[in-house]
A and B are shown apart, each in its own frame.
Chain A
Amino acid sequence: MAELEVRDLGFRYGDKIALEDVSFARPAGSFCALLGPNGAGKSTLVSLLTRLLVAPDGHIILAGHDLEHAPRRALANLGVVFQQPTLDLNLTVRQNMRYFAALHGLPRKGLDAAIDAALDRLNMAERAAERVATLNGGHRRRMELARALLHEPRVLLLDEPTVGLDAASRAAIVAHVHDLADEGLCVLWTTHLTDEVRDTDHLLVLHQGRLLADGVTRDICGDQKLSDWFLSQTGGGA
């Protein structure tokens, strides 16, 4: 069964079409890259998936719950790492995590242990008491990832999560999220960087508001490198 399903999704900003007839479905335990040049509609799709925007057409189903009809249950199964940082810089790592936990209605009992475990997975345990302002960009991102997993979501959405990170931090996050997918999470990773996508990943290509491709990267590109194929399809828009 699909953990994340999008059916006939459409959205307009006034007269401008941002998304049209977008449909795809992804099962548990899969890493799916959503690739598209700037302005392809990635941000709009993320806003729709996180219910920041509500689509007039189409359906979004998260872990079996329709986002429109059962938003609480759907959102409870969604973990998000936004492109923009969403941390309180003046608070400590643990305070940020607790705030998030409360927003999701997690019980306080056992919360600190859960926070420690979530941080530990990303080698951040020793930073729990530090103020976020003192962390570097890579650590902040890792913390946001740990936070997004705190409520044990079944679907993980990452919106260009490597923007502004150095090469080592980027590679570490890409590898870690692939591991999470191997462990059973349904991951949707948006990016405009082709080198973050592996040959065996599932790939969705969004261009001018429409899905251009939906399949395994290797099958889509054939003999070409993904970057070459992507440029040839999107006219160098990336």
Chain B
Amino acid sequence: MTGYWGVARAIMGREFLRFVHQRERFLAALVRPLIWLLVFAAGFRAALGMSIIPPYDTYITYETYIVPGLCSMVLLFNGMQSSLSLVYDREMGSMRLLLTSPYPRWWLLFCRLLGATLISVLQVYAFLAIAALFDITMPLWGYIAVLPGLVLGGLMLGALGLVLSSFITQLENFAGVMNFVIFPMFFLSSALYPLWKMAESSALLRDICAFNPFTHVVELIRFLLYLQINWSALAWVLGTTALFAAVAIRAYDPSRALMRRKG
């Protein structure tokens, strides 16, 4: 069994080294939420009135409201990024190398997923640290309590990325993922506006947001940052993670690219 841990360490170590070598990726992942936080939110704080809703027990600024959404955004982008690199690996052949390992395929994929998730989590903490420099802070213990939520959310979005990578046959199709997955998931969620606010404009929109698993990642993180557990969000995230992971492991077929090319 020691071999299993060795494989995990190697795959995660490789993800980490790759990440270290791609500093632009780290910067991009950091700049994106910061622009939202420092530019978009600053502009919107005047327009959007916030009422007191759980987990907050006082009036909060809009910047404070969108921090959990932006943490989730980092996880979302990274999940999709790792799906991109899976497609890339498949085309480049390093996935072939991985799969000639005698260890079970599901374990190899899981390690890959976990490695990518831990890197996302690092980026979230970097984002939270910069936000704190701008005086947008959470309860101190919240920074620790949120860790399991970030890992779980990261795994869910990474598993979604894995599912998508099974259906993306070519690297060029990745732009479609941006348009049809990332943007709708992000905007149709509670990341930028609370659901009750959404309901004021359209009940249907609100229902779509409530059904969007990304909303539940955001809410799980939001509550954990304030040392509370949102049980329904937790159940949603656990359930969707299991579902995506099951589909991903079943659908992940490295021969697909081969088949399409020949077919």
Binding site for B on A (CB under 8 A): 13-14, 16, 18, 43, 47, 50-53, 71-76, 78, 80, 82-88, 90-91, 95, 98-105, 108
In Å, the complex CA distance between A99 and B108 comes to 13
In Å, the complex CA distance between A16 and B260 comes to 12
Q: Determine the main DSSP class of B at the interface with A.
A: helix
**Is B259's CB under 8 angstroms from A51's CB?**
no
| Interface bits B84-107 vs A (CB < 8 Å: 1, else 0) | 000000001110111111110000
10 contacts between A and B (CB under 8 A): A50-B100, A74-B102, A76-B102, A91-B14, A102-B10, A104-B101, A104-B102, A105-B6, A105-B102, A108-B6
Q: A99 contacts which chain B residues (CB < 8 A)? A: 10, 13-14
**Is B10's CB under 8 angstroms from A75's CB?**
no
**Is B6's CB under 8 angstroms from A88's CB?**
no
Q: B262 contacts which chain A residues (CB < 8 A)? A: 13, 16, 18
A150 CB → nearest B CB, Å: 12
**Is B10's CB under 8 angstroms from A51's CB?**
no
B234 interface residue (CB < 8 Å to A): no
**Is B263's CB under 8 angstroms from A102's CB?**
no
CB within 8 Å for A78 and B100 given contacts A52-B255, A99-B14: yes
A68 CB → nearest B CB, Å: 14
**Is A105's CB under 8 angstroms from B7's CB?**
yes
**Is A52's CB under 8 angstroms from B99's CB?**
yes
In Å, the complex CA distance between A13 and B259 comes to 6
B17 interface residue (CB < 8 Å to A): yes
Number of B residues whose C-beta is below 8 Å from A? 30
B3 interface residue (CB < 8 Å to A): yes
Q: B17 contacts which chain A residues (CB < 8 A)? A: 88, 90-91, 95
Binding site for A on B (CB under 8 A): 2-3, 6-7, 9-11, 13-14, 17-18, 21, 92-94, 96-103, 108, 254-255, 258-259, 262-263
Q: Determine the main DSSP class of A at the interface with B.
A: mixed
Q: B100 contacts which chain A residues (CB < 8 A)? A: 50-51, 75, 78, 80, 103
In Å, the complex CA distance between A21 and B193 comes to 62
Instruction: Tell which of B21, B96, B102 touches A75, judged by Cβ atoms closer than 8 Å.
Output: B102
B5 CB → nearest A CB, Å: 10
**Is B7's CB under 8 angstroms from A103's CB?**
yes
**Is A82's CB under 8 angstroms from B255's CB?**
no
Residue of A nearest to B261 (CB): A13
Which 10 residue pairs of A and B lie closest in terms of their CB atoms, listed nearest first? A105-B3, A102-B10, A84-B93, A103-B101, A86-B97, A72-B102, A75-B102, A90-B21, A13-B262, A86-B93
**Is B10's CB under 8 angstroms from A86's CB?**
no
B112 CB → nearest A CB, Å: 11
CB within 8 Å for A75 and B101 given contacts A52-B255, A91-B17, A102-B9: yes
Instruction: Tell which of A14, A18, A50, A98 touches B96, judged by Cβ atoms closer than 8 Å.
Output: A50
Beyond A88-B14, A102-B9, list 4 extra A-B contacts (CB 8 Å).
A47-B255, A75-B100, A82-B96, A105-B3
A55 CB → nearest B CB, Å: 11
In Å, the complex CA distance between A76 and B103 comes to 9
In Å, the complex CA distance between A105 and B11 comes to 12
**Is A102's CB under 8 angstroms from B254's CB?**
no
In Å, the complex CA distance between A52 and B259 comes to 11
CB within 8 Å for A52 and B21 given contacts A47-B255, A104-B101: no
Q: A104 contacts which chain B residues (CB < 8 A)? A: 101-102
In Å, the complex CA distance between A20 and B49 comes to 70
Q: B2 contacts which chain A residues (CB < 8 A)? A: 105
Instruction: Tell which of B3, B9, B96, B101 touches A84, judged by Cβ atoms closer than 8 Å.
Output: B96
**Is B6's CB under 8 angstroms from A102's CB?**
yes
Q: B97 contacts which chain A residues (CB < 8 A)? A: 80, 82, 86, 100, 103
